[in-house]
């Protein structure tokens, strides 16, 4: 009877370990896919970034009264 309990406990531990290893394998596959997607996106952005020149911000337009301007 004692060996049956030990066998059942070992079976339960094996099933739990198998389930955990499957979950870990799925997580690893997902993280690997995310890594390669990020690497690809970075390369695309890097290629696009070198072609376009940065756009300068427009200067702020303000009202300057004519009395403020100096005459030569």
Give the mean pLDDT of 41-66.
Answer: 75
Residue 35, both tokens: 């890594």
Residue 6 inside a domain? The answer is no
Residue 38 inside a domain? The answer is yes
What pTM does this model have? 0.55
Residue 64 has pLDDT above 90, yes or no: no
Residue 32 inside a domain? The answer is yes
Residue 40 inside a domain? The answer is yes
pLDDT tens readout for residues 30-52: 999 999 999 999 999 888 876 55
Residue that wins the pLDDT comparison between 65 and 42: 42
Number of domains into which the chain is organized: 1
The mean of the pLDDT values for the chain is 86
Residue 5 inside a domain? The answer is no
Residue 29 inside a domain? The answer is yes
Residue 35 inside a domain? The answer is yes
Could you write out the three-class secondary structure of 12-38? HHHHHHHHHHHHHHHHHHHHHHHHHHH
Residue that wins the pLDDT comparison between 56 and 46: 46
Residue 34 inside a domain? The answer is yes
Range of the domain at 32: 24-48
């Amino acid at each position: 009877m004692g060996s049956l309990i030990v066998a059942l406990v070992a079976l339960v531990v094996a099933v739990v370990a198998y389930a955990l290893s499957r979950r870990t394998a799925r997580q690893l596959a997902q993280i690997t896919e995310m890594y390669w997607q990020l690497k690809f996106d970075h390369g695309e952005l890097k290629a696009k970034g070198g072609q376009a020149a940065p756009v300068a911000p427009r200067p702020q337009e303000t009202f300057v009264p004519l009395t403020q301007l100096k005459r030569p």
